Amino acid sequence: MKRMMDRIRTKGLLLTGWLATSYLLAASELPFAAPETVGMSEERLHRIRSVVKNYVDEEKLSGVITLVSRKGKIVYFDSYGERDESTGQPMERDTLVRIYSMTKPVTAVALMMLYEEGAFQLNDPVERFLPELRGLKVYQEGEEVAARRKMTVQHLLTHTAGLTYGIFGDTPVDKQYRRAGVLREKNLNEMLSHLGEIPLRDHPGERWHYSVAVDVQGALIERLSGQPLDEFFRDRIFEPLGMNDTFFEVPPEKVDRFAANYRYREESQSRRLADSPETSKFSRKVTFFSGGGGLVSTAADYWRFSQMLLNGGTLNQVRLLGRKTVELMTQDHLPAILQEPDPNATFGFGLGFRVILDVPSTGTLGSVGEYNWGGAAGTIFWVDPVEELVGVVMIQLMSSPYNLRREMKALIYQALID
């Protein structure tokens, strides 16, 4: 391990704007700039490498990729460590990683593209398009009762649909999800058939609860568009934005760039291999296109997606969404939906994103109006419209106990100098 790390350290060049810009622009057509030209300090950005180096050298993480941009220009793009400890392959800037729930914002964008085309209204009942979910009851105190209102598309987009995940909880409804194998089906239609036989956990519109709602969004996209979700994503989002390394299924010719995924073991405070690139489900034939957590991507690809949002729905003369639609998606929708919103909430939720309402309560640096989301393997992205800033951090560690996400935000914001 140490010999491998010594070799990687000799190759791990810090990229802050002008370093190797000509090579990178030719290779990836990413817009690099010297940090000071967009109001950031190159010297202060170097602090990111020191923190990342400690995480890897102390064997807490195998590898880290960090990308920072401001005003549409990338000022820091660095990788450090290994993408696969068993082979000693280095973590590189084009390493493919499982983004899991960072798939959710992509699904929300896809659905809102159809909204802009008049395919539905936000207050439309979901059952109008997905009849499998018609007449769902709600499980309350040991019995199934009639829902107080119908589940709407807006409920799906805000995690207030009354659904659950079956993974994190142990309620009677969660147990039914596990018995039915929800999210382990062959395809989204099969998932809908199972969900149609299980009561809701909550009355729609009355509670925010993280759930399979985004996978239901994926099924809705398929029904409304007449395309499988993977094709819709490819044709309408990935190809137009130049996201050539984002997919549900890693192509055979790209498996050698796919990182291993690890899991933290609390009992031994160590890591073990959770998913190897060659045998991963992401490297085999995929038929269940999970809009809630099924994508593999790269830092550069996800930056393209994030910058499109910051630009108000457009990137490189390609427009996916209108400016007002992005504004709607990145506002807090919960107070208008929930019967009893929390007046002291730090976070709100838009249409596919967590939204920062109060910076001091977050315990780190940032801006009101920032929107973000993360993935189960420790990945994170955020878009700050106030500072015109995008941050993308990619690791592959399930059940991570570390505060890397908060630390990275502090390290990036402290580099602002205007």
Query: Over the stretch 301-319, which tens digit does the pLDDT of each residue have?
Result: 999 999 999 999 999 999 9
Give the C-alpha separation, 174 to 254, whole Å: 36
Alpha-carbon Rg for the chain in angstroms: 21
Tokens of 138: 């709600």
Of 50, 119, 120, 55, the closest CA to residue 82 belongs to: 55
Give the C-alpha separation, 347 to 326, whole Å: 18
Tokens of 149: 């209102």
Give the C-alpha separation, 260 to 314, whole Å: 33
Query: In this model, does residue 387 exceed pLDDT 70?
Result: yes
- Domain annotation covers residue 35: yes
CA distances from 52 to 293, 368, 407 (A): 26, 27, 10
Question: Quick one: 17 and 114 in the same domain?
Answer: no
Residue 200, φ and ψ in degrees, nearest 5: -75, 155
- pLDDT of res. 2: 43
Question: Quick one: 32 and 126 in the same domain?
Answer: no
Question: Quick one: 216 and 118 in the same domain?
Answer: yes
Res. 344 pLDDT band, cuts 50 70 90: low
Instruction: Pick the last residue of a domain from 158, 192, 225.
Output: 225
Tokens of 193: 């058939």
Tens digit of each residue's pLDDT (9 = 90 or more) over 127-181: 999 999 999 999 999 999 999 999 999 999 999 999 999 998 899 999 999 999 9
Query: In this model, does residue 251 exceed pLDDT 60?
Result: yes
- pLDDT of res. 17: 40
- pLDDT of res. 380: 98
Percent over 70 (pLDDT), the chain:
92
Tens digit of each residue's pLDDT (9 = 90 or more) over 310-343: 999 999 999 999 999 999 999 999 999 987 767 6
Query: In this model, does residue 24 exceed pLDDT 50?
Result: no
Q: Where are the beta strands (DSSP E) in 135-206?
A: 137-140, 143-146
Tokens of 412: 């990036």
CATH number at residue 193: 3.40.710.10
Query: In this model, does residue 346 exceed pLDDT 90?
Result: no
CA distances from 58 to 61, 146, 184 (A): 8, 54, 36
Domain range enclosing 31: 1-94+388-418
- Domain annotation covers residue 40: yes
Average pLDDT over residues 113-126: 98
Residue 377 in contact with residue 397, Cβ under 8 Å? yes
Tens digit of each residue's pLDDT (9 = 90 or more) over 33-57: 999 999 999 999 999 999 999 999 9
* DSSP states along 41-102: -HHHHHHHHHHHHHHHHTTS-SEEEEEEEETTEEEEEEEEEEEETTTTEEP-TT-BEEEETT
**Which residues lie closer than 8 Å to 51 by C-beta, 6 or more apart?**
407, 408, 411
pTM: 0.93
- pLDDT of res. 342: 73
Question: Quick one: 178 and 209 in the same domain?
Answer: yes
- Whole-number average pLDDT of the chain: 93
For the four alpha carbons of 146, 152, 156 and 158, in that order, the dihedral sign comes to negative
Residue 305 in contact with residue 241, Cβ under 8 Å? yes
Question: Quick one: 70 and 150 in the same domain?
Answer: no
Query: In this model, does residue 105 exceed pLDDT 50?
Result: yes
Tell me the three state secondary structure of residue 267: coil
Question: Quick one: 119 and 175 in the same domain?
Answer: yes
Give the C-alpha separation, 225 to 119, whole Å: 9
Residue 236 in contact with residue 254, Cβ under 8 Å? no
Higher per-residue pLDDT: 227 or 1 = 227
Give the C-alpha separation, 109 to 4, whole Å: 41
Instruction: Pick the last residue of a domain from 225, 251, 281.
Output: 225
Query: In this model, does residue 374 exceed pLDDT 50?
Result: yes
Query: In this model, does residue 202 exceed pLDDT 70?
Result: yes
Instruction: Pick the last residue of a domain from 178, 199, 225.
Output: 225
Residue 112 in contact with residue 146, Cβ under 8 Å? no
Give the C-alpha separation, 118 to 123, whole Å: 13
Question: Quick one: 84 and 119 in the same domain?
Answer: no
Query: In this model, does residue 1 exceed pLDDT 60?
Result: no
